[in-house]
Amino acid sequence: MNDETPKNRLSVVYREPRALVIAAVVLVLLGTWSIHHVIAVDGYVSTGRAALSVIWALLFLMLAWQLACSYFERPRTVTDEQWDELENLSIAVIMPVYNEDPAIVRQSIESMLAQTRPLQAISVCDDGSDLVDYTELEQWFHQACRDADVSGYWTRTVNRGKRHAQMAAREHVDWCHIYALVDSDSVLDPYATEEAVKPFADPEIMSVAAMVGAANVRQNLFTRVMDLWYVALQFTDRSMLSQFKSVLVNYGALAYYRAEVVDDNVDAYLNETFNRQEMRISDDSLLTLYALLKGKTVQQVTAWAFTYMPTTFQHHKNQQIRWMRGSFIRSIWRFRYLPMNRFAFWGHLLKWCQYALATAGLIGVLATQDLSNHKTVGLLLLIQGGIYYGVMLRYLTIRRSTESTAYQMGTWLLTPLAAIWAGTVLRVWRIYAMFTCVNMRWGTRGKVEVTAEA
């Protein structure tokens, strides 16, 4: 990565040396906290609450192991000989568009044409947008692609959903070796492709997940807190899985796949059903599952994209419930199809065990603790806050071109807000999504939801 990225471009520098220092601090704190847990187990046993102490001890051990794995994640690098081979790969962007602000779509395409590792093709499919006219944008797109010596394709189809739009776009670029699947509101870091292509030097790697942050992080407090939460999730859950080359979900904002992963599964991808209904959600996780069944999946912490986060409560709720429904359905598929001799299966099982234990622990606290005692509540919040601050600490290993260090530190200090939101609202929504997973309604894009001007 280059520290001299123009300031008017969205870009991230990943500071690995700082990550090492932070990892050491966190591991020391975890070791100290483990002593406390040993003492706490004895205390709970003597007071007849052994089950609750065991639950929290198990959760702590899981978290400690997960953080130990994730904090020592390193970006994948290549030799000069490997890079020469990678330069021979042709890479195409596949982007579906539906009722997106034309200014955001243009910003996205401009970021693709500015990649330091040039793309060979960009294929856009307008999935029957009925609120936006892309005529002028399409004309600009073709001229911009010609000027950049990139093959550009713009297709319009009747509205059939994101998957059909993606595959319609794919038909124009099926001669390429790598597909970069991009959402229409994604803005790519100039070095995204250059960094993301490096793991493909390993022939067993089938997909590479890019890191995703909020393009509109400064819009309001809501987008700022959600950016912190999403980035931290990628730096913990997905980093741990990436260490074992078993990433379970590539975010739709930007992910790279070997062409055969998509080409060999077009029919299954377009015709997936659940409860006798067409699946119109969880497309990104399905493609990642296909990649896992063919080989290995990783993330590259030096490849970044920026997406426009929801700016209103209702938009955020619709998005989260849709994601959670898809996640629950995809979990069934993973248990069914992932082989038990792969870490991906056991990593997935571990996450469900963590969720079940955390829910049981929360219920146990509510049932056994005197929440009218301010000291008890204060201690519980202090413990929870300390854990989340440790989990979120890796957020400080990145530096955005558009943010000062002070602003970034201020975002990290908002960790309690993210923790409270995740532990209350998101937890309730997840339970609701599980029980209503048969609802395949898309839930968004009845209007142009986010604009570049805002």
The model's confidence at residue 446, banded by pLDDT at 50, 70 and 90, is low
Q: What is the CATH classification number for the domain harbouring 367?
A: 3.90.550.10
Q: How far apart are CA 152 and CA 139, in angstroms?
A: 11
- Residue 363's pLDDT is what? 78
Q: How far apart are CA 445 and CA 212, in angstroms?
A: 21
- Residue 3's pLDDT is what? 46
pLDDT digits (tens, 9 = 90+) for 341-363: 999 999 999 989 988 888 887 77
- Stretch 189-215: mean pLDDT, rounded? 96
If we measure between CA atoms, which residue out of 382, 214, 221 comes closest to residue 313? 221
Question: For the chain, what is the domain count?
Answer: 1
Q: How far apart are CA 303 and CA 396, in angstroms?
A: 16
- Please report, rounded to a whole number, the percentage of residues in the chain having pLDDT higher than 90: 56
- Residue 240's pLDDT is what? 93
- Residue 450's pLDDT is what? 64
Those residues with Cβ within 8 angstroms of residue 381's Cβ, 6 or more apart along the chain or in another chain: none
Q: How far apart are CA 260 and CA 134, in angstroms?
A: 31
Whether 294 shows a pLDDT value over 90: the answer reads yes
- Pairing between β-strand 186-188 and β-strand 178-182 as defined by DSSP bridges: unpaired
Point out the least confidently predicted range of 46-60, 301-315, 334-348.
46-60
Find out whether 58 and 41 touch, Cβ atoms under 8 Å.
no
E-strand ranges in 293-406 read: 296-307, 398-400
- Please report, rounded to a whole number, the percentage of residues in the chain having pLDDT higher than 70: 88
CA dihedral of residues 34, 39, 40, 43 (deg, nearest 10): 170
- Stretch 417-445: mean pLDDT, rounded? 81
- Residue 56's pLDDT is what? 76
The model's confidence at residue 242, banded by pLDDT at 50, 70 and 90, is very high
Whether 254 shows a pLDDT value over 80: the answer reads yes
Q: What secondary structure letter does DSSP report for 444?
A: -
Whether 164 shows a pLDDT value over 50: the answer reads yes
pLDDT digits (tens, 9 = 90+) for 16-53: 777 777 777 776 676 666 666 666 655 555 555 667 77
Q: How far apart are CA 299 and CA 250, in angstroms?
A: 8
- Residue 280's pLDDT is what? 82
Whether 110 shows a pLDDT value over 90: the answer reads yes
Whether 444 shows a pLDDT value over 50: the answer reads no
Find out whether 153 and 121 touch, Cβ atoms under 8 Å.
yes
- Residue 370's pLDDT is what? 66
Find out whether 239 and 330 touch, Cβ atoms under 8 Å.
no
If we measure between CA atoms, which residue out of 231, 426, 438 comes closest to residue 326? 438
Structure-model confidence comparison of residues 169 and 26, the more confident one: 169
Q: How far apart are CA 51 and CA 89, in angstroms?
A: 55
If we measure between CA atoms, which residue out of 182, 185, 178 comes closest to residue 206? 178
- Residue 22's pLDDT is what? 76
Q: Is 320 helix (H, G, I), strand (E, B) or coil?
A: helix
Q: What is the pTM of this model?
A: 0.90
- Stretch 253-268: mean pLDDT, rounded? 96
Find out whether 385 and 416 touch, Cβ atoms under 8 Å.
yes
- Stretch 120-128: mean pLDDT, rounded? 97
- Residue 46's pLDDT is what? 56
Q: How far apart are CA 159 and CA 414, in angstroms?
A: 40
Point out the least confidently predicted range of 32-46, 169-183, 275-289, 304-318.
32-46
**Domain with 144 in it:** 1-454
Find out whether 306 and 220 touch, Cβ atoms under 8 Å.
no
